[in-house]
Amino acid sequence: MTVDARRVAVLVSGRGSNLKALIDRASGYEIALAASNKPQAQALDVARAAGLPTWTLDSRGVDRELFEDMLTRSLEDHRVGTIALAGYMRLLSPDFIAQWRGRIVNIHPSLLPKYRGLKTHERALAAGEGATGCTVHVVTEELDSGKILAQTTVAIEPGDDIAALSERVLMAEHALYPATLAEFVER
Ligand code: GRF
């Protein structure tokens, strides 16, 4: 079966604002599936409202291998060629990443390699940074460490708190992710 890189699955666990941006600004790619490890994720409502196919399985208590086997089946059913992580909070196994090597991307709310992992805005503020931002990168076995595809810098203003800063970075994410994904699927 031929796999089309432009058929994208978006993996989500939460709110889904990046999924919404990827849907609204889709050009050069199409969202073939929204998949979640959290059946109650708001992001799934975003997908359903857009009329997109969804797949979900509660990952709590499910063996990782079984979970990923079921996910893989759904990705294959929907002829997915590229995976975009958008607030996906479950670690992917090295086997899964190897199977999709070079075809999974993620958006991270910092200027990588700074602030890998969680609480990025809190840490950037605590460090007194003058700027932070967001990064789209290729996913590898090492957390938030794969090849950087694109970044946007966002200034930290005096008086910024976590909420204000995350809101501004999120706006930048919503512009950066669709544009970068469109380029990535053409590579
Ligand atoms: C975003 O800040 C993204 O950078 C990070 O998780 C958050 C997801 O937000 N990986 P949303 O679910 O897309 O609104």
| Structure-block tokens of residue 132 | 């932070």
In whole angstroms, give the CA distance from residue 73 to residue 152: 35
Q: So what's the pLDDT on residue 44?
A: 98
Q: Ligand 1 atom 7: the closest Cα is on which residue?
A: 87
Q: Ligand 1 atom 5: the closest Cα is on which residue?
A: 87
Q: So what's the pLDDT on residue 1?
A: 60
> Are 107 and 177 contacting, i.e. CB atoms less than 8 angstroms apart?
yes
In whole angstroms, give the CA distance from residue 137 to residue 107: 7
Q: How far is the CA of 1 from the centre of ligand 1 (A)?
A: 32
Return all residues near 74 (Cβ < 8 A) that are at least 6 apart: 33, 35, 55
Residue 152 Cβ inside 6 Å of ligand 1? The answer reads no
pLDDT in tens, the chain (187 residues): 668 999 999 999 999 999 999 999 999 999 999 999 999 999 999 999 999 999 999 999 899 999 999 999 999 999 999 999 999 999 999 999 999 999 999 999 999 999 999 999 999 999 999 999 999 999 999 999 999 999 999 999 999 999 999 999 999 999 999 999 999 999 8
Residue 109 Cβ inside 6 Å of ligand 1? The answer reads yes
Return all residues near 24 (Cβ < 8 A) that are at least 6 apart: 178
137 is catalytic: no
Q: How far is the CA of 29 from the centre of ligand 1 (A)?
A: 20
The predicted model scores a pTM of 0.97
